Structure 1
Amino acid sequence: MWPTIKSVASLLSSYGLLMLANAMFSTLLGLRSKLEGFSTEVIGVIMAGFFLGMLLGAIYAVRVVASAGHIRAFAAFASVMSVSVLAHVLIIDAIAWFFLRAIAGFCMAGMVMIVESWLNERSTNANRGRVLSLYMITNYLGGGVGQFLLTVANPDSFQLFSIASIIFSVALVPILLTRATAPKPSVPERMKFSSLFKISPVGVLGTLIAGMTNASFNSMGPIFAASIGLTITQISTFMASILLGGMLLQFPIGRLSDHLDRRGTLIISTLLTSLAAAGIIWASDQSSVIILFAIGAIYGGFCYTVYPLSSAQVNDMADQERLVQVSAGLLLAYGTGASIGPIIASQIMGVMGPAGLFYFIAACAVFLALFAILRIIQRPSGEHKASFLPLGSNGTSSKQLYSTVQASQNKRNTKS
């Protein structure tokens, strides 16, 4: 394992710093938006801008990389990202913040794509699975630890914006100093959404709903926490408990789904997600925040398995020669859900109060469970099964690593 870690340490360092700064800034901006007097509904639209930008970046950022090269493109994306963070302090306007978030999302998609393609270049068929595991752990740890940076200064000051900008700039250093050979960028052929849906309706709908619920929580979770009276430290801990909890059950539930009907495992995860969401609503009225944090960790453990389970379900049913196109299509499905999720959730919160966030998430999870039950009745489980692979919580991945690992494992299984 140590040679594997050593070979990708610089690239994972850059990725970890990106996740650290992005997680901290996303929570910070939600809280700052509330302090600036923006309504919950407006905040939802602002935060959705990031995921819209990521969706566009997943489609078009590769053109920037192709024309400028990996290193110069990464430097450009990181610089623009750093500037966009500071611009929020200079321009206090909801429309301006929406476009700044879209720019940040575009840049983040480009930087993650560069890191992933480089990791893929450095790894081999023998260690690519371990590299993906390290990549996933870095995703969750960066997102979880980043929440605690909020305690360094007050959200109504400029210091935290400066810290986020500095970290985005520092993320340049490890990847600029790596001696790895930059890979050639490639543009995977995108599959039509209708064709993708025909392969596995449950998997595609699950990916779409995972985008809606994950983005809704990542965007509006801090607003929920602030609205129920948590302090800045408690808000950081609440967000971190859910993100770090999401890392704990990835492998156990994934391995379980490898042996059982994937859709059955997905049903269990979605139903437990809805129960945990209801538990968070209940715990928000209790006197002890420890209960809230504990249920939050349970919620994170189950809700963040919906995305990789849904993706694995599609790969189970797809033509194994088209996994890259399938991954590209699933990324668009996730991005579409992530772009509209925070907007819908914020509107519900505006009507029902902060608990509306988790009512929305619970409703989405139950709907997916019911749809999966219907599909099990209509179509029994197939014989072929792709191996489960973990995916990060924030939807930032271009899933190049995922599709490559999946393809190599399928070839290995075929030979054996």
Structure 2
Amino acid sequence: MLVGNTSLTSVSFRYRFISLLLVVVVAGMSQGLLLPLLSIMLERSGISSDLNGINSTALYIGVFCTMFFIEKPVVRFGYKKVIIAGISLVTVSMLLFPLNQSLELWFVLRLLVGVGDSSLHYATQLWIVSSSPADRRGRYISLYGMAYGVGFSVGPLGINLLPFGEAVPFVVTGLFFIAVLQLVFRLPNETPERSARSVSAENRFVRTYRLAWFGLIPALLYGLMEASMNSSFPLYGLRIGLNQEWISLLLLSFGIGGLILQLPLGIWSDRIGRKPILMACGLTSAFVFCAIPFAGDRVIFLCILFALAGGLVGSFYSLGLAFVADILPRAIMPAANVIASIHFSIGSILGPSLGGYGIRYVSTHSIFFLLGGAFLLFSLLGILFRSQRIL
């Protein structure tokens, strides 16, 4: 009987984990497609790069705002219901994009996509991190990162559906969301572990920063990098003479690099520690980003550099979250997830804005020097951080 129950639990965990990974794949695909797709469509309409970048920030403003209230619905209603609500909101918004190309409408729709996307990511991240054993947490969270990377890499290829009609990429993405929604409906609902009533929300957030501030920076950098690459790189590519097919393939190579190294980095972080892996990847990626402008429009060199950069920083968010989970008590992990998501959205809001203004007023190449400097600074800050395990 015990064997039967253990087997059932194992099967249940496996089905839930795979279902959540598929949700993350589709969510990553929608983000990987939406930013470059809308940037290209607005560029074709004659919208300036700075206005284009500002409009792109709407998605991440939605992500940012969601983090101030999402913890309570997850604790009250459970992971499953929040994921269903997030998928539904993103699906409806995606299908509304092709109906009108008004900047104002697109800003609102991007805002709603950000709210839905943030909700489902918060719930899936917390569900996976909270239920993973400590000695395999790096591996599981890396698989989560790989799932997002698969979707994020495949997403830009949807740009090539534009010749069949401007609505086609949005409709295809909506159908994928509807498909994974059927899997989520079959999952049992669970809720996070609650923190002690005597511990105030303020104390939980202050304690999280005090104990794990270095592990929360990767979320900020990942948001800055992801939004910059998807919103500003298409503009950069068009200005140096690349066509939209090469732009989508370069973004794909960036994602493939992340996929190749995601799991190995997670396994190595389980063995030798998250901090040295994060610092080494940050330092190396800083030099890779700074080298990209010198490749010019030579696509082969750009593909190599993009794959290297993607491999080094593609697991930053997931490894940072795993590092935080190593340090903090499980009861305050929901607060840590909120902070990480806020950091991600701040970086994502800054990315398109800084990229757009940089391209227009500073230099076409400024975005890569910004990213290189940010990752270099992160690695140097790691020297100052001393962690202690809290049980």
Which category describes the TM-score, using the shorter chain as reference length? 0.7 to 0.9
Residue by residue, what CA displacement relative to the aligned partner does 1:264-307 show, whole Å, maximum 9, x if unpaired? Answer: 54443222112111222122332xx1221111000111123443
Contact kept in structure 1, 2:139 and 2:266, CA below 8 Å? no
Structure 1 unaligned segments of length 5 or more: list them: 386-409, 412-416
Residues 305, 183 of structure 1: CA spacing in aligned structure 2 closer, same or farther, 3 A cutoff? closer
* CA drift at 1:57: 2.3
Corresponding residue number in structure 2 for 1:358: 368
Shift of 1:243: 1.4
Partners in 2 of 1:322 and 1:73 — Cα distance? 19
What is the aligned-residue RMSD (CA, Å)?
A: 3.6
Separation (CA, whole Å) in 2 of partners of 1:194 and 1:184: 23
Is 1:227 matched up with 2:224? no
- Distance, in Å, in 2 between the alignment partners of 1:48 and 1:198 is 29
Q: Aligned residue for 1:334?
A: 344
Question: Which whole-Å deviations, capped at 9, do the CAs of 1:200-246 have from their partners, x for residues lacking one?
Answer: 55444444333323332233233223332222322221111111211
The alignment status of 1:283 with 2:290, answered yes or no, reads no
Aligned twin of 1:299 = 309
Residue pair 1:32, 1:156 contacting (<8 A) in 2 also: no
Q: Distance in 1 between matches of 2:370 and 2:323?
A: 24
In structure 1, what is the equivalent of residue 168 of structure 2? 159
Task: Using the TM superposition, name which of 127-136 and 14-23 deviates more.
Answer: 127-136
Local SS of the residue matching 1:249:
helix
Shift of the alpha carbon at 1:50? 1.2
Q: Which residue of 1 aligns with 2:4?
A: none
Task: Give % identity.
Answer: 22
Q: Distance in 2 between matches of 1:88 and 1:59?
A: 26
Partner SS, residue 80 of structure 1: helix
**Matched residue, 1:87:** 96
Structure-2 change in CA distance of 1:263 and 1:74 (3 Å): closer
Distance 1:84 1:175 in 2: 19
Which of 345, 357, 369 pairs up with 2:355? 345
Instruction: Give the TM-score normalised by structure 1.
Output: 0.76
Cα 1:150–1:5, aligned 2, differ >3 Å: closer, same or farther? farther
Which is richer in helix?
2
Q: Which residue of 2 aligns with 1:140?
A: 149
Is the counterpart of residue 216 in structure 1 residue 215 in structure 2? no
Question: How far apart are residue 191 of structure 1 and its match?
Answer: 5.3
SS in 2 for 1:326: helix
Paired with 1:66 and 1:319, the residues of 2 have a C-alpha distance of: 17
Hey, what's the Cα distance between the residues in 2 that align with 1:309 and 1:83? 32
For the residue of structure 1 that corresponds to 2:190, the secondary structure is: coil
- Name whichever of 234-243 and 352-361 sits farther off: 352-361
Q: Which runs of 5+ in 2 are unaligned?
A: 1-6, 196-200
| 1:236 counterpart residue number | 248
1:23 and 2:32 are equivalent in the alignment = yes
Instruction: Give a deviation string over 1:56-115, Cα, whole Å, max 9, x none.
Output: 223324555677776665454333322322333233233332222111010112223444
Deviations 1:21-48 (A, max 9, x none): 3322232112112122221111222222
Corresponding position of 1:199: 211
1:183 equivalent to 2:194? Answer no
Given that residues 190 and 328 in structure 1 are in contact (C-alpha distance below 8 angstroms), is that contact kept between their aligned partners in structure 2?
no
Q: Which residue of 1 aligns with 2:198?
A: none
| Residue 109 of structure 2 is aligned to residue 109 of structure 1 | no
CA contact (8 A) 1:212 1:337 kept: yes
**Kept in 1: contact 2:86–2:119 (CA 8 A):** yes
Residue aligned with 2:46, SS: coil
8 Å contact from structure 1 (residues 277, 361) kept in 2: yes
- Describe the SS at the equivalent of 2:297: coil
Cα distance between partner residues in 1 of 2:100 and 2:177: 20
1:392 paired residue number: none
Q: Distance in 1 between matches of 2:266 and 2:135?
A: 20
**Change in CA separation of 1:269 and 1:154 when aligned onto 2, cut-off 3 Å:** same
Aligned to 1:249: 261
Paired residues in the alignment total 377
Q: Is the 8 A contact 1:216 1:357 kept in 2?
A: yes
- Cα 1:72–1:365 shift into 2, 3 Å: closer
Distance in 2, matches of 1:126 and 1:370, equals: 27
Distance 2:143 2:374 in 1: 30
Go from structure 1 to structure 2 and tell me whether the alpha carbon gap of 1:13 and 1:313 turns closer, same or farther (over 3 Å shift). closer
Structure 2 CA distance for aligned equivalents of residues 209 and 133 of structure 1: 17
Q: Counterpart of 2:55 in structure 1: which amino acid?
A: I
Q: Output the amino acid matched with 2:237.
A: A
Decide whether aligned partners of structure 1 residues 207 and 228 sit closer, same or farther in structure 2, where only a CA change above 3 A counts. Answer: same
Equivalent-residue separation in structure 1 for 2:77 and 2:317 (angstroms):
32
Q: 1:269–1:305: 8 Å Cα contact kept in structure 2?
A: no
User: Hey, what does 2:52 align to over in structure 1?
Assistant: 43
Contact 1:241 1:297 in 2 (8 A): yes
Tell me by how many angstroms 1:129 deviates.
Answer: 6.4
Q: Is the 8 A contact 1:14 1:173 kept in 2?
A: no
Pick closer, same or farther for the CA change 1:353–1:162 going to 2, 3 Å: farther
What is the identity, as a one-letter code, of the residue corresponding to 2:43? Answer: K
